[in-house]
């Protein structure tokens, strides 16, 4: 009887142990750029997953329930990393604050964009996104953008620079990647991101699709400037409002690098969820006097000196039909800062 009791106790203990949830711990890594520059990235087209695990050497275990079958992710921590606060503002009030990296981080490759340097050499900018979740859910859940810049030298890919903490934006746990490269009149390279705000995805049919515009320095990979609601497209029942912002020119001035931005499109007040970035400089009184729908053009100069950022008030013109059907074009006075 005693043997039976002992057997039952042992069986119950084993069963309870087998039911305990297994905890998977991230691999502790560091970001040593000098070490990374010695790695072999091959001679063919870059493989995003291979580059991921070379820069984030922390593959997930096959038994980990967080393992995703639709993307390959690294699972890491960084005890030697400095912590960075990424803050979002609305009306000068902090609406969101994230301190990164997290205690446990999931990272995956989101895009590889090949381009020619100012001297004609082949390069590639590789984008990564990091989140504390690996399920790709949450329309307002942003991601951390990391960037790696490569150049093909003597037939072999060489890492030029790597920035693990570029900015914090996007949606569904994923930061929008670099999707455009521009060479300015000053001969320098700049990276653009069209996205950041819900990644151009809407969960509701009455909500237009908005995207921000990010300008990044091609050498440091740091963010220079970000304009909210830089573009808008129709979605479901939200028809009419449609605009886009383009970087028309980048040139050197005595004050620093100057970016000339242009926004063109149509705004329908019925779906005025987010006003175009440049139209946010129009006073409430002047905006209320505009008709229910109007076309507009806006130009803005943004200058980046050695320190700080100079954002000039935009020049805005609107075109619409008045009550008699006559087409009218009007220059709108703008403020020095966005109107709250």
pLDDT digits (tens, 9 = 90+) for 82-108: 999 998 765 556 667 899 999 999 999
Q: How many beta carbons lie within 10 A of that of residue 250, not counting itself?
A: 21
Name the token pair of 119.
Answer: 């001297």
Strand partners for 87: 97
Contact in structure between 188 and 215 (CB atoms under 8 Å): no
Q: Report the length, in residues, of the chain.
A: 340
pLDDT digits (tens, 9 = 90+) for 115-144: 999 889 999 999 999 999 988 887 778 999
Q: Where are the domains of the chain?
A: 24-178, 180-340
Tell me which residue of 179, 82, 169 sits closest to 131, measured CA to CA: 169
0.85 cut: is pTM over it?
A: yes
Local structure of residue 5 (DSSP, 8 states): H
Q: Flag the least confident range among 18-27, 71-80, 184-193, 308-317.
A: 18-27
Phi-psi region of 70 (alpha: psi -120 to 50; beta: other; left: phi over 0): alpha
pLDDT band at 199 (very low <50, low <70, confident <90, very high): very low
Name the token pair of 241.
Answer: 């409002």
Triad 189, 191, 192: Cα angle to 5°: 140
Contact in structure between 192 and 247 (CB atoms under 8 Å): yes
pLDDT digits (tens, 9 = 90+) for 134-182: 888 877 789 999 999 999 999 999 999 999 999 999 988 899 999 999 9
Query: Is the bond preceding 14 in cis, omega lying within 30 degrees of 0?
Result: no
Mean pLDDT of the 312-337 span: 92
Q: Which CA distances in Å does 69 have to 53, 77, 134, 166?
A: 17, 22, 11, 27
pLDDT at 19 over 50: no
For residue 252, the model assigns a pLDDT of: 93
Rounded Cα distance between 87 and 287, Å, is 29
Rounded Cα distance between 111 and 321, Å, is 44
pLDDT at 12 over 80: no
Contact in structure between 272 and 279 (CB atoms under 8 Å): no
Return the percentage of the chain with pLDDT > 90, whole number.
Answer: 67
Q: Which residues contact residue 88 at a Cβ distance below 8 angstroms, ignoring those fewer than 6 apart?
A: 94, 95, 96, 97
Name the token pair of 202.
Answer: 């809407």
Triad 211, 214, 215: Cα angle to 5°: 150
Name the token pair of 264.
Answer: 């063109």
Please tell me whether residue 283 adopts helix, strand or coil conformation: coil
pLDDT band at 250 (very low <50, low <70, confident <90, very high): very high
Q: What is the DSSP string of 227-275?
A: EEEEEEE-BTTB-S-EEEEEEEEEEE-SSSEEEEEEEEEEEEGGG-SS-
Triad 296, 302, 307: Cα angle to 5°: 160
Contact in structure between 144 and 176 (CB atoms under 8 Å): no
For residue 15, the model assigns a pLDDT of: 47
């Amino acid at each position: 009887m005693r043997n039976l009791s002992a057997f039952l106790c042992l069986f119950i203990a084993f069963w309870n142990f087998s039911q305990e949830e297994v905890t998977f711990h991230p691999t502790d890594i560091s970001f040593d750029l000098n070490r990374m520059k010695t790695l072999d990235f091959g001679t063919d087209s870059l493989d995003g997953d291979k580059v991921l695990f070379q820069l984030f050497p922390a593959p997930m275990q096959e038994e980990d329930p967080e393992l995703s079958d639709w993307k390959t992710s690294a699972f890491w921590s960084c005890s030697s990393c400095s912590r960075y606060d990424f803050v979002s503002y609305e009306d000068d009030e902090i609406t969101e604050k994230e301190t990164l990296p997290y205690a446990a981080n999931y990272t995956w490759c989101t895009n590889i964009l090949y381009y020619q340097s100012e001297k004609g050499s082949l390069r590639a900018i590789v984008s990564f996104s990091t989140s504390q979740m690996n399920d790709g859910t949450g329309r307002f859940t942003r991601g951390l953008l990391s960037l790696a810049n490569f150049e093909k030298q003597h037939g072999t890919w060489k890492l030029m620079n790597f920035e693990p903490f570029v900015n914090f934006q996007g949606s569904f746990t994923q930061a929008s990647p670099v999707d455009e490269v521009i060479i300015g009149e000053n001969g320098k390279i700049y990276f653009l991101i069209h996205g950041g705000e819900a990644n151009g995805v809407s969960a509701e049919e009455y909500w237009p699709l908005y995207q921000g515009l990010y300008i990044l320095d091609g050498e440091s990979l740091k963010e220079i400037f970000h304009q909210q609601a830089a573009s808008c497209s129709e979605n479901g029942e939200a028809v009419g409002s449609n605009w886009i912002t383009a970087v028309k020119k980048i040139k050197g001035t005595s004050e620093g690098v100057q970016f000339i931005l242009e926004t063109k499109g149509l705004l329908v007040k019925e779906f005025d969820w987010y006003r175009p970035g440049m139209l946010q400089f129009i006073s409430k009184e002047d905006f209320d006097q505009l008709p229910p729908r109007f076309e507009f053009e806006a130009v803005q100069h943004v200058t980046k000196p050695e320190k700080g950022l100079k954002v000039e008030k935009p020049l805005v013109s609107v075109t619409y039909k008045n009550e008699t059907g006559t087409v009218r074009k009007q220059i709108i006075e703008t403020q020095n800062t966005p109107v709250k």
